[in-house]
Copies of this chain bind each other. A is one copy, B any other.
Amino acid sequence: MRRLLLSNDDGVHAPGLKALHDALVDQARLRVIAPDRDRSGASNSLTLSHPLSLTPLDSGFYSVDGTPADCVYLGVSDIFDETVDMVISGINHGANLGDDVLYSGTVAAAMEGRSLGLSAIAMSLAGHQHFETSGRVAATLVSAVEQLALPPRSLLNVNVPDVPWEELKGFRVTRQGQRGQGSQPLRLQDPRGRTRYWIAASGASSDMGEDTDFAAIEAGFVSITPLQTDLTRHASIGDVRGWLEALTGQRQQSGDLL
């Protein structure tokens, strides 16, 4: 039986995590470790400034006073007797599309499982109602994940329309779209008269090409985007090299060492 580590960024008490657990409990041994608080927007942040506590709850889940990445870091460590095979994170309350993946704690939790044997999966529901649909999508994908030979350090970012299972249009493999610039921060006065700035909602989709995650969700399909943890823009290496040679060439002519 596979051993899965579940986590999320909405916190250990979030309904989406419970739904994920319930959807997978029959086909795998589950270890659930999640933040004690909502940590949406936590990205891959790790808590380096202080040590973490791991608290077992009555539900059998573990609560950590840290980030999603902290939770998975602990969950795959030798604190536990048994190793796990893969990480499934979510089900996020709300979609993680386009640039969201840079900020998402859900995606980060999955990414933190990159050293494990099987590809990790980040699950998000594009809404707040039909977690069961998303749970069933997760169960479907997990049951077949051994047949998927992705390179190491890859993961799947899965977004599910917020509809009943019967109303799903199907599955689409997509690329990450883009969001336009977000709104301006909300300015407000605190009760002691000081100005404060609250980060506003993220921008609308600005790249909605047919093959993007945005377009799939818009059309009612489950969106599956393979992601990698290598951020190198390989295609630009030549351009940067040319630029650098011109730059250092000029400088060498002017007598500077570099």
Which residues of A are in contact with B by a Cβ distance under 8 Å?
13, 36-38, 40-54, 57, 65, 67, 69-70, 73-74, 77-79, 99, 101-103, 108, 111, 115, 140-141, 144, 147-151, 153-154, 156, 165-166, 168, 170-171, 173, 175-176, 178, 181-188, 190-192, 194-201, 224-234, 236-237, 239-241, 243-244, 246-248, 251, 257-258
Q: Which residue of B has the minimal Cβ distance to A99?
A: B229
Interface contact A175-B243, CB-CB below 8 Å:
no
What's the nearest-Cβ distance from chain B to residue A86, in Å?
A: 15
The distance from the CB of A92 to the nearest CB of chain B, in whole angstroms, is 13
Name the B residues within 8 Å of A240 (CB-CB): 148, 150, 156, 173, 224, 226
CB-based contact A201/B192 at 8 Å: yes
Docked-complex contact B77 and A185, CB < 8 angstroms: yes
A156 (CB) vs chain B CBs: closest residue: B240
Q: What are the residues of chain B within 8 A of A70 when measuring CB–CB?
A: 199
Tell which of B49, B74, B108, B227 touches A197, judged by Cβ atoms closer than 8 Å.
Answer: B74
Contact between A149 and B51 (Cβ–Cβ < 8 Å)? no
CB distance from A244 to the nearest CB of B (A): 5
